[in-house]
A and B are shown apart, each in its own frame.
Chain A
Amino acid sequence: MAFDKMELKDIEVWDGNFAAAQALRQCQIDVVAAYPITPSTPIVEGYAKFLADNYVEGEFVMVESEHAAMSGCIGAAAAGGRVATATSSQGFALMVETLYQASGMRLPIVLNVVNRALAAPLNVNGDHSDMYLGRDSGWIQFDAYCPQNAYDLNFIAFRVSEDHGIRLPAMVHQDGFMTSHTAQGVHTISDDDAYNFVGDFKPMNDMLDFEHPVTHGVQTEEDWHFEHKARQHNDLMTKVFPKIEEVFTDFEKLTGRKYNIVEKYDTEDADVAVVCMGTSVETAREVATEMRAKGIKAGVVGIRVIRPFPFMQIAEALKDIKAIATLDRSAPGGTVGMLFNEMAGCMFNLEKRPMLCGKIYGLGGRDLTKAHLVELFTELQANVDAGKITTPLQQFIGVRGPKLSYL
């Protein structure tokens, strides 16, 4: 071991970016090819500083755009290294072309996406637009609600994506500024424990194996492409969840922190529930607790793994709830929000179909306050009391001017 170890306290005060950077250091990433963009710059900046200070044995590649950053990561991963990078919003949008290559070539890259709104109008604050943009790219997507999650999920993402049966790239999402620049106490894992949890990188079909030459990224026309995509989808649908469950269990043994594919909060006896992602989950939990004191049986479902989408687990968690609201933090662009769509899909065939309405909130970093959520839970309870949906299916929360609602 030619690099230095870092002595961490049990609890360090880190923001989400620095927590992710520390996770990249502890995993001993071989190659980071990155291009800076607000608000994810400190992740790769932090890695570069650890590299310069001899805490990591690796390579930092400075490229001229995010497209080149992901291309560099794909090259490094195909050559047989542990690779990670970070990006946001417009950079993520520029990466999209190569994201599909990474997942199709089955390369285990971990991408830290700090969610930020997509222009125009240009905006550096957080919403989930870029997370939604990457949802069909064939990557595994984890969602962090706080710096602690951002730190932990990086280790989990490496374990899952580098498994030889899976070999699919993974994204770890955190909310721009809300998580990435808000310092909180983070329970740390020691360098040795963290590295042993992730394990040594075991290459597969790597290009630097000169005794078994391979061609990566070959062309297939109509006679093979479908089979490749089918294989990728089959692995996403059948292999990823069992592996994630296994890694979550291992992680709990190591740290005592339990993660679930679907984070349920007070849903066992609830009448009303909201389904949301990102930092809103924590706000919603707090409000749900207050609503219980007022006599409204409120629950919260947070989605930890966005892709592959946990249809069955969500349907199981929500089957007895009477009224549900989905909170989408991305401009719907002429349809219902993604979460509303997915929830409608997974609950359509339930025997007792809950009432479902979709809310659009927090675009461009607009705050979702407790007052909003109190109003929302009250409205859901009114639906339950009336026994039918009394409000439009899609509403905008927190937008100035006259109320916006559709359908």
Chain B
Amino acid sequence: MIKKGWDEFEIGAMLRTFDGSINDIAGTSQDDRSYSENSSYTASVADWRLIKPVFNKDYCIDCQFCWIYCPDVSIISRDKKMIGVDMDHCKGCGICVEVCPTNPKSLLMFPEQAEEEAEIASWPAKDEEK
């Protein structure tokens, strides 16, 4: 975000979510919305994440459970197809992993520093029914 001088921003402790005016925001997908640099969509709020979900599309059945349950709207899904995780907003709570119904899970938590490709390559095998 650009640092502005005291006389350069709008008065009052207020921020605009969008640049310019909007209409039918609910019918516009997030990618097409004119978010301003001040909106929380543009800002990264994931600095303090310690563990992250890694998505493995090989096992995903597009059930949308993770999208429904994510408390931070950080699951990216388009046309009912799971695409991945929004790493600028995910806090690493692990709820998506908890609700994932596939076997093995298509989302698993790994340390923040983990390499995604390596983890997907060594994905755990199917849990046998006991």
The distance in angstroms between the C-alpha atoms of A226 and B3, with both chains bound, is 12
Binary A-proximity of B1-28 (CB < 8 A = 1, otherwise 0): 0011111011111111110011101000
Number of interface residues of B (CB under 8 A): 19
Please determine whether B13 and A214 come into contact, CB atoms closer than 8 angstroms.
no
Binary B-proximity of A225-266 (CB < 8 A = 1, otherwise 0): 011101110110000000000000000000000000000000
Residue A192 interfacial (CB < 8 Å): no
Stretch at the interface among A86-94, A215-223, A331-339, A353-361: A215-223
Number of A-B pairs, beta carbon distance below 8 Å? 60
8 A Cβ contacts from B61-120 to A: none
Nearest A residue (CB) for B40: A215
Please determine whether A106 and B12 come into contact, CB atoms closer than 8 angstroms.
yes
Residue A205 interfacial (CB < 8 Å): yes
Residue A173 interfacial (CB < 8 Å): no
**A216 in complex: contacting residue of B7, B14, B23, CB < 8 Å:** B14
Please determine whether B6 and A230 come into contact, CB atoms closer than 8 angstroms.
yes
Please determine whether A231 and B14 come into contact, CB atoms closer than 8 angstroms.
no
Residue A213 interfacial (CB < 8 Å): yes
Residues of the B chain whose Cβ atoms lie less than 8 Å from the Cβ of A235: 11
**A214 in complex: contacting residue of B4, B15, B23, B25, CB < 8 Å:** B15
* Minimum C-beta distance from B1 to chain A (A): 9
A214 and B21 contact, Cβ closer than 8 Å, known pairs A205-B10, A227-B4? no
Residues of the A chain whose Cβ atoms lie less than 8 Å from the Cβ of B9: 227, 231
A212 and B21 contact, Cβ closer than 8 Å, known pairs A227-B6, A234-B6? yes
A231 and B11 contact, Cβ closer than 8 Å, known pairs A211-B21, A211-B23? yes
Binary B-proximity of A254-290 (CB < 8 A = 1, otherwise 0): 0000000000000000000000000000000000000
Residues of the A chain whose Cβ atoms lie less than 8 Å from the Cβ of B17: 213-215
Nearest B residue (CB) for A215: B15
| Interface residues, chain B, with chain A CB atoms under 8 Å away | 3-7, 9-18, 21-23, 25
- Interface CB pairs A-B, < 8 A, 17: A104-B13, A106-B13, A167-B11, A211-B22, A213-B16, A214-B15, A215-B14, A216-B13, A218-B13, A218-B14, A218-B15, A226-B6, A227-B6, A228-B13, A231-B7, A234-B6, A235-B11
